[in-house]
Amino acid sequence: MYVPQHHDESDAGVLRALIQAHPLGTWVTQSDGELLANPIPFLFDPNRGAHGTLAGHVARANPVWHSFSKTISSLVIFQGAQSYITPSWYPSKHLHGKAVPTWNYAVVQAHGLPRAIEDRDWLLHHVTQLTDTHEAGQALPWKVTDAPPDYIDRMLQAIVGIEIPLTRLVGKWKVSQNRPQSDKLGVVAGLLAREDSTATAMAGLVQRYAEQTTPGSTG
């Protein structure tokens, strides 16, 4: 991934927070001379390994679990806030017209060598933890134990665990850092006027990083 200096985000806490807030990662790996990409909801343990460990699962019917590269690191892409940015929001555009559209986004790319796990106890613990994490906000949280044990056993037999100890995290925050301060404020106002959660999230990032970066190329 091309990351200009003014778009580089290397704060481990910031990168981990994005992964945990946007846990549906795109797992990309090489297999038989081609790239395979699978969307997978991951659990992220920041305390296991130098850069944390990802844990997920795939259907046993998905050939990726036994065909992924055992020698070349996989890539998992986590997409955070993103939004189209119109130059109409820039005060500078109305002064000299020297502005073009762009796209703002925050993304983390995680690298590591995966391993497949078929152990039933590991799988049960994994799906229980995954369920508890994402059911926590429900009025009546569903639990794995709500389903009949024999049914859960059949479901566990139909999946394979994937664990990826991470060797590297790369973050790119493209949030209008290369624009003058007045343009950044114009972007924030324009995004907030959309009144949707995605635009509001990006407005928050532009506002947060407005004073932390210096102008440069658009990347």
At residue 210 the predicted structure's pLDDT band, cuts being 50, 70 and 90, is: confident
With beta carbons less than 8 A apart as the criterion, state whether 218 and 102 touch: yes
* Residue 5: partners with Cβ closer than 8 Å, 6 or more residues away: 216
Helix (H, G, I), strand (E, B), or coil: what is residue 164?
strand
Higher pLDDT, 210 or 193: 193
Dist. CA 208–CA 134, nearest whole Å: 27
Q: What are the CA-CA distances from residue 105 to residues 7, 118, 150 (Å)?
A: 10, 36, 44
Q: Which of 80, 97, 121 is nearest to 208 (CA)?
A: 80
Q: Can you name the CATH fold of 5-82+102-177? A: Pnp Oxidase; Chain A (2.30.110)
| Residue 74: pLDDT over 90 | yes
Domain ranges of the chain: 5-82+102-177
Q: What is the pLDDT of residue 212?
A: 65
| Residue 171: pLDDT over 50 | yes
Place of tokens 């995966």: 114
pLDDT per position as a tens digit, 15-42: 999 999 999 999 999 998 899 999 999 9
pLDDT per position as a tens digit, 140-161: 999 999 999 999 999 999 999 9
